[in-house]
Amino acid sequence: MRSVVAVIKLTGFAGLILLAVPFQALVLLFCKGSSAYVLPFLWHRGVCRLLGVKIKVHGTPETGKQVFFVGNHLSYLDIPAIGSVIRGSFVAKKDVESWPLFGFLSKLQQTAFISRSREDATREKTALDHYLSEGKSLILFPEGTSTDGQTVLPFKSSLFSIALREQVHGHLILQPFTVKLVLANGQTPTTQAVRDLYAWHNEMDTPLHTHLWLFAKSRGAELALVFHQPVRASEYKDRKVLAKVCHEHVSKGLETDKNTP
């Protein structure tokens, strides 16, 4: 029975893609500003509803201004979850661009693809500078990978230097956020098996398409998306200090009492 449910969900997922792609491609031909995020925002909401990803928002996400959102990362499923709440361009590893289907969808979201190698560091910062100079908000996962959600890995600080270029982005604010898995398939994530129903991370050898199928067979997941107090880039001079401050906020969001109303 659950396999039938999964087929229905994934068929609906394919339908949402076929419906949204031509319209979003057309929008991007004429506009790459804030209006170009409207359809992806609605699409992410549709995907969450279809796959049974419920989001409880705590705190207030900054809207109406340019923001550098930084948070932890559990799964590719974080993308529709976060994208259904805030509008902006995700920052993803370069290899995501070549992923079947998901890479193409990422481009329609105006995702910024970056390399993690030191050789490409200057070029990647220039590319992100371009996004910021256009007034776009960016959504960054500074851990550089995904985890099972029990802890937050140390943040890589290199990209935080972009926020410190006051001559260009002195007005920029950063808002840390925490993604916390509350339920997966109706169960609290107290075991690795339950956590891995939602999380898709480097410790797993499950291919993405297999994980998506297993998740579609489940009853979905419930997430707490915790938005912390914004941090002003102009108040910091050291990227490592700024990264540490944001990391502390995100880590505190994993505490139970931070995620209950």
What's the whole-number mean pLDDT along residues 59-84? Answer: 94
Over the stretch 94-115, which tens digit does the pLDDT of each residue have?
888 888 788 888 989 899 888 7
- Mean per-residue pLDDT of the chain: 89
What's the whole-number mean pLDDT along residues 51-64? Answer: 94
Give the integer Cα–Cα distance in Å for 166 and 77: 34
- Tell me the CB-side half-sphere exposure of residue 76, using CA atoms within 13 A: 19
Q: What is the pLDDT of residue 98?
A: 81
Over the stretch 121-130, which tens digit does the pLDDT of each residue have?
556 666 787 7
Q: What is the pLDDT of residue 34?
A: 84
CA 44 → CA 92, 121, 173, 192, distances in Å? 17, 30, 24, 27
Of all helices (H) and strands (E), which one includes residue 57? strand 53-58
Tokens at 143, concatenated: 């851990």
Q: What is the pLDDT of residue 128?
A: 80
pLDDT at residue 153 is higher than 90: yes
Q: What is the pLDDT of residue 116?
A: 65
pLDDT at residue 29 is higher than 60: yes
**pLDDT band at residue 261 under the 50/70/90 scheme:** very low
Tokens at 113, concatenated: 């693809």
pLDDT at residue 167 is higher than 50: no
Give the integer Cα–Cα distance in Å for 181 and 147: 11
What's the whole-number mean pLDDT along residues 34-38? Answer: 90
CATH class of 2-258: alpha beta
Q: What is the pLDDT of residue 89?
A: 93
Tokens at 219, concatenated: 């009853």
Quickly tell me which residue has 């926020």 as its tokens.
163
Q: Give the domain ranges of the chain.
A: 2-258
pLDDT at residue 10 is higher than 60: yes
Give the integer Cα–Cα distance in Å for 106 and 112: 9
Q: Which residues are CB-neighbours of 231 under 8 A, at least 6 positions away?
A: 173, 174, 175, 176, 242, 245, 246, 249
Amino acid making up residue 99 = W
Tokens at 248, concatenated: 């502390």
Dihedral sign of CA atoms 157, 246, 199, 98 in order? negative
Over the stretch 174-191, which tens digit does the pLDDT of each residue have?
999 999 999 999 999 999
Give the integer Cα–Cα distance in Å for 54 and 184: 10
Length of the chain: 261
- Tell me the CB-side half-sphere exposure of residue 175, using CA atoms within 13 A: 21
pLDDT at residue 229 is higher than 80: yes
Percentage of the chain with pLDDT > 90? 66
* Alpha-carbon torsion angle 10, 11, 14, 15, nearest 10: -140
